[in-house]
Structure 1
Amino acid sequence: MAAAAPPRALSVELRRDLLAGVLAPRRPGDRVRASHPRQPQENIRCGQLMSINFNSRSLPCPPCHCAQMALPNTRIAYPPDVGKHTGVLAYELVQGSLVQWNSFMDKSIPDPPTAVLLHGILGSRKNWGSFAKRLAQEFPMWQFLLVDLRCHGDSASIKKREPHTVASTALDVLKLIVQLRLTPRVLVGHSFGGKVALSMVEQAAKPLARPVRVWVLDATPGKVRAGGDGEDHPAELIESLKRMPMQVSSKQEVVDALIKEQFSVDVAQWVATNLRRSSPLHSLPSSSFSWIFDLDGISEMYRSYEETNLWGIVENVPRGVHINFLKAERSLHRWALEDLQRIHAAEELAADEGGGVEMHVLEDAGHWVHADNPDGLFRILSSTFRIETTIRGMQN
């Protein structure tokens, strides 16, 4: 198969759409899409969009599998078959109780403030589910777009053109945002997703017409360093998974095999959440499970993650963009002294140029920041949503 044109080479039409549909402020009279006011405790179908009000119930939180409570007065909005209807990526919208909007109905009101949450390699949008509900509870005017990146989760069945890179993954998300007619104020990416968020800023036209705050969680803009003994090794994990059969009899079979290969119990159990039952529960002779990701594509994505260098966008931040790096206190191998020094130098330079770069440290956390210390991460990220909510109130 012939390789696609590099993602940076956007068509004139797409560049115009990105400017008009994503980054430019709404003009009076512009038509956007919104939902009818919803009734409490009911499922409401609005065209192709279903909105659900959640009662409190226990949900798993990968990779640690702790039980967290889904908070009341939040909702998840998604098409019944997200892959078919978007043709781009599978997604969910977690909306605060004050959000009265969806992308499938036209109303002459602006879209609510939106944050995009991006997972890492071998993850899925479910990694952010409990955390997004908590944010929506605290900030009820906001909505949170959770995306399954290409080759992952429900997006794995949506055929995407090669190459499978950080840049092409970022372009997928930009296309989805255009299709949903959203104007994101905040981009949050964990690990691989952090580089995707930076690439989204790099590919969009500069300067940005509206402020955008980017959070890169436990990832640097450049070199990816392998872990030491007892730490995670994603490339080796991907290769181990590729050697396994496409179907297995149980999730425990995978967990046991990975532990035998010296991967931690937490990582093994988290990876097993990517297995989906492929035969009926009571079928004979036994049930089976299959993977919900494209491992060949993911392997290519991880190589791109290792090779992609986005220091340029950090050291030349567009006006109106604020980039926040969050270092997990126990995630030592990812952060060299030269990375930290370079980020601090970019902080000073950005302040002089009308942009922003900032470094944060999350205490008592390893790489899985939203599982290791969700309370600490929530406190740090909350400052962004308070600032943006205040700015929006002043503009109105």
Structure 2
Amino acid sequence: MARILKNKQCGYNLLIRFLNSPSPGKATTRWVQTLAYEEVRFSTDKPYTCTAFILHGLLGSGRNWRSFSRDLASSLSKTSPSSEWRMVLVDLRNHGMSAEIEGLEPPHDMANAANDLANLVKAEGWAWPDVVVGHSMGGKVALHFAQSCARANYGQSAASPKQGFPWWHWLGTQQSLKLAYYKQLWVLDSIPGAVDPRKIDGEVEKVLQTLQSLPSTVPSRKWLVNRMMELGFSKSLSDWIGSNLKKSGEHETWAFNLEGAIQMFNSYCEMSYWPLLEHPPQGTEIAIVRAEKSDRWDPDVIQRLESRASEGGDGREGKVSVHILPNSGHWVHVDNPKGLLEIMAPKIASI
């Protein structure tokens, strides 16, 4: 279902298209066994030239990132008018509209979540994305996707950067200059190594356990929010959980596959991508954004990241950069969207 919405506040067009728009004149959506997504663009008057994938976190969906993606597309259109950016807001498996799609078989882990992205690219016949942005669990999906691209797991074309910002370096003993191109991978407040779930202040595990204890259908969103608050959760977190409901007859049910999401969370905790950060693929910049007030970062992890970022590189490998988002907790796009935009937009515009 394709439609263009006029954003009165910002004065630009937002294109939202769910997976595989139907033929003109039809009002239904055609589904295939791959991910659901939305597109956000500043303008639809000309074809897009660059693509960014936006990956949400646990129990979220692509729609959580609509507002930030609109602002990012707007900013890029002003700073880089020769490029037309398309933001693809993906619903990861077991989440959002992808939870309704059959064929996304287990195991529900980071590897298969990343494979889903590759399958989406191939099914739609797209070029490989120029930028991938992942928040929290989505950050590790992004890291696995980059790792698999570098290993040519998705085919040789996925391993070859097509666009990026120029960076000159010497080529071995030939002492000649070559123009190298960097794609960008943005990992937003996501620990790259294995995570002890008890160190995520226990809140995530407590939320998952609570949701497991609740019935699969609830009377209303208001009932759920009140129930979550009675169990000791904050009003903001309870409201956010309540936003992940969908209508089911006279009741409400989850907009995610809870058991599948739990499996993904376990995989998120177990997986480590330090080897990827130690040897980033040539042509790729991995940009880590750490929220200043996030309680998920151990001092040794921070030191290890900053040490890796300070090493630079000679062009034979990619690079790692670390950015601190001030005045923000884990929910970076809600706590300080303006600051996040100021960090990301200039670097993405350089592509």
TM-score under structure 2 normalisation? 0.82
Structure 1 residue aligned with 2:141: 196
Corresponding position: 1:166 with 2:110: yes
Shift of 1:192: 0.1
Q: 1:294 to 1:179 in 2, by over 3 A?
A: same
**Is the partner of 1:318 in helix, strand or coil?**
coil
Aligned length: 310
**Is the partner of 2:132 in helix, strand or coil?**
strand
Query: 1:261-300: CA deviations, max 9, x gaps?
Result: 2222111100111111223xxxxxxx42111111010010
Query: 1:204-238: CA deviations, max 9, x gaps?
Result: 13553333201100011113244679x56112211
Shift of 1:52: 1.1
For structure 1, which segment, 169-178 or 121-130, has the greater mean C-alpha deviation from structure 2 after superposition? 169-178
Query: 1:349-393: CA deviations, max 9, x gaps?
Result: 4523441101111111110000011111111111222211xxxxx
For structure 1, which segment, 180-189 or 297-306, has the greater mean C-alpha deviation from structure 2 after superposition? 180-189
Corresponding position: 1:266 with 2:236: yes
CA distance in 1, matches of 2:205, 2:285: 31
**Is the partner of 1:365 in helix, strand or coil?**
coil
- Identity level (%): 35
- Aligned with 1:317 (options 262, 280, 301): 280
Corresponding position: 1:289 with 2:247: no
Q: 1:377 to 1:271 in 2, by over 3 A?
A: same
Shift of 1:179: 2.0
Asked whether the equivalents of residues 12 and 42 of structure 2 are also in contact (C-alpha less than 8 Å), the reply is no
Corresponding position: 1:149 with 2:92: yes
Shift of 1:156: 0.5
Structure 2 residue aligned with 1:213: 184
Structure 2 residue aligned with 1:234: 204
Corresponding position: 1:90 with 2:36: yes
Q: 1:84 to 1:75 in 2, by over 3 A?
A: closer
Asked whether the equivalents of residues 77 and 95 of structure 1 are also in contact (C-alpha less than 8 Å), the reply is no
CA distance in 2, matches of 1:331, 1:232: 14
Q: Equivalences for 1:3-18 in 2 at 5 Å?
A: none
Structure 2 residue aligned with 1:31: none
Q: CA RMSD in A?
A: 2.1
Query: 1:139-192: CA deviations, max 9, x gaps?
Result: 231000000000001000113111100111011012112222133111100000
Q: 1:354 to 1:372 in 2, by over 3 A?
A: same
Asked whether the equivalents of residues 285 and 318 of structure 2 are also in contact (C-alpha less than 8 Å), the reply is yes
Q: Equivalences for 1:39-78 in 2 at 5 Å?
A: 50-56=2-8, 69=9, 71-78=11-18
Structure 1 residue aligned with 2:194: 223
Q: 1:71 to 1:235 in 2, by over 3 A?
A: farther
Asked whether the equivalents of residues 343 and 359 of structure 1 are also in contact (C-alpha less than 8 Å), the reply is yes
Asked whether the equivalents of residues 17 and 37 of structure 2 are also in contact (C-alpha less than 8 Å), the reply is no
The letter for the 2-side match of 1:270 is W
**Is the partner of 1:223 in helix, strand or coil?**
coil
Asked whether the equivalents of residues 113 and 183 of structure 1 are also in contact (C-alpha less than 8 Å), the reply is no
For structure 1, which segment, 81-90 or 368-377, has the greater mean C-alpha deviation from structure 2 after superposition? 81-90
CA distance in 2, matches of 1:134, 1:77: 18
**Is the partner of 1:150 in helix, strand or coil?**
coil
Query: 1:287-336: CA deviations, max 9, x gaps?
Result: 4211111101001000000001111111110110000111111112x111
Asked whether the equivalents of residues 276 and 291 of structure 1 are also in contact (C-alpha less than 8 Å), the reply is yes
Structure 1 residue aligned with 2:348: 385
CA distance in 2, matches of 1:228, 1:344: 21
Q: Which runs of 5+ in 1 are unaligned?
A: 1-48, 57-68, 102-110, 280-286, 389-396
Corresponding position: 1:185 with 2:185: no
Q: Equivalences for 1:246-257 in 2 at 5 Å?
A: 246-257=216-227
Asked whether the equivalents of residues 53 and 75 of structure 1 are also in contact (C-alpha less than 8 Å), the reply is yes
